[in-house]
Structures are given as structure tokens and as C-alpha cells.
Amino acid sequence: MDQIETIKQLKKEKNAVILAHYYVDGEVQAIADYVGDSYYLSKLATTLPEDVIIFCGVQFMGESAKILNPEKTVIMADEYADCPMAHMVDTDTIAAVRKEHPDVCVVCYVNSTAQIKSCSDVCVTSSNAIRIVRALPEKKIFFIPDNNLGRYVASQIPEKEFIFHDGYCHVHKSIHKDELIQAKEAHPEALVLTHPECTSDVLELSDFIGSTSEIIDYATASENKTFIICTEMGIFYELGQKNPDKKFYSVGHRQFCPNMKRINLDKVLKALKQLSPEVRLDKELAEKSNLPLRRMLELAKS
């Protein structure tokens, strides 16, 4: 039996489902049962009937699936696939801001550890952050950890007061304005579609700003045939699948998340066979970090 057939067979035997983020390699997206952005994957995880979730993404995504589904077995395809941004803020910083601003609402980008979520008031993803922050009753927001996403959200909600943190995604930060200008000169007919983790000077040159799913939806619905894509290159797989007649260009060669790219078919197969490495969380931490994630899912409905 070939590798893909073995994966399918094992999925049935173990009553498992494979979830993948758009940034993992195309070969992994191709065998996944569901592929999506961070919001879709966390929402979906609460509705799945299978006992086992094999997560093809980074640590915080598997952790969120486990927090929202404590009774399920959540297995990481690679236990070392981790998002550096998730570790860029600490609990002391949150406590200090809360002390100085007792009326603050701590808004936590899901790209964060369970411990950070447990000290936050609400979680957001790149696709729902604006809607959720707007819906919050508090006027003062401490947005952690991503500075770029926080500033973008703030630019859309001028009526609120923001305190920013200095976290960032090294992949999106490395997409430079000058290189984008060169790409625009090389493809003047292209629309620029950008993830809000990019810096503000890149966002200013963009035609559309959105999460990975929103970028794919925008390109698919557009009558334009050429696009410059400012986010991680794994997204090109689904863009190509949905739009074989359209052209997609990157800005440079650094649009590559080494953590997402740790995952391959060998590791998915091994994870299914061994049902390991499993995401395990301390009960109290899981309960505390569940609240801001649930609040996000509730507010996102409004």
C-alpha cells in the first residue's frame, strides 16, 4: 500500500481527522480532511465527530483545538512546529498593563501560548479581530502579541484607545516595501493581496488586506487574473487549486515559515500510527484559556 493509502486506512481505523493550515506544504494540504485559516480551524474543531484530531500546523493551533475539545485526543504532526510570535509576550507584561490601566481589555491574537490566553479577556484571529474588538464594551484595548495586526485593527477602529505590544511574525515582517514596489513594477496589472501581519508600509500599498482564507476568497471571486501575494507561500497551493487560470506572484524568497514547513507526509503517517505527540494541558490552564477562546467564537457570530 502506498503512503497516502496507508494514511487513509489509519484514519478510518483510529477514527481520526486531519486538519491543516494553508501554510503547510501542498502535499499535506492535499491529504487533509479540512484546510483553513486559524479561525476556521478552531471553530471547526468544536464540531467534528471523530475522536482523534491530527493537527498539521503550529503548536498554538493544536493547543486551541485541545482547549476547545478537552475530551478529544489532539496529535501534532510535528511537536516542534511552533510559532515564535506565540512566545513574544509574557504574563508579567500583561499584569503590569492591567495594574496601570484597570479598565483595559486584553485582546489576545490566537498566535499565543495557552498560558497567555489564560490571562487574556478575549482571543481574536486575523479574520475576526476587527469585528470582535469593535463589539467589545471596553474602550481601552491592550492588543497582544502582534504589533502589526494590532495597529491595523486600531486603524479601522479610531473610536477606541490602543496599547500595543512589540511582537511580530518574522515571515510577514520580512516582506519589504521596496521589494513590493519592484514586484508591482514587474506586474503592473496585478492586485496586491496582503495579510495584516505585514508592516504598515506594505499594507498601504495593498489592494486587499485579509486572513489567509479571505485572501483566497478574494482572489477566487476577482475578475483580475494576476495577483501579488504578501503572506506565507503555502497559500499558493490552494490559490492554484481554486484558480488554475490565474497567476500568483510572491514578493521575495523569504515568504517561508520554517515551522509550518516542518510538517510532511512521513510525519503525518507516524503521528497517525503512534497517536503521538499528544497535546496535553494542565486542567486549570485548559479551563482558564477556554474562556477567551469561547468568547471569541461567541462574539464572532454577532
Contact residues: ligand 13P, CB under 6 A: 37-39, 83, 111, 125-127, 169, 195, 197, 211-212
Question: Does 41 help bind ligand SF4 (rule: CB under 6 A)?
Answer: no
Residue closer to ligand 13P by CB (options 194, 290) is 194
Mask for 237-276, x = binds ligand SF4 (CB under 6 A): --------------------x-xx----------------
- Looking at the DSSP bridge assignments, the partners of residue 76 are 55
Q: Which stretch binds ligand SF4 (CB under 6 A): 71-79, 81-89, 215-223, 284-292?
A: 81-89
> Strands, E, within 78-166: which ranges?
105-109, 122-124, 140-144, 161-164
Of the candidate residues 67, 85, 192, 279, the single one contacting ligand SF4 (CB under 6 A): 85
What number of chain residues touch ligand SF4 (CB under 6 A)?
14
How far CA 47 is from CA of 41, 223, 279, in Å, comes to 10, 34, 19
State whether the Cα torsion 3-5-8-11 is positive or negative. negative
Nearest CA among 36, 87, 86, 44 for reference residue 65: 44
Of the candidate residues 53, 232, 268, 296, the single one contacting ligand SF4 (CB under 6 A): 232
- Contact predicate 212/235, CB 8 Å: yes
Partner that binds at residue 84, options ligand 13P, ligand SF4, none, CB closer than 5 to 8 Å by kind: ligand SF4
CA gap 19, 290 in Å, rounded: 20
Largest CA distance in the chain: 62
Binding site for ligand SF4 (CB under 6 A): 23, 58, 83-85, 111, 169-171, 197, 232, 257, 259-260
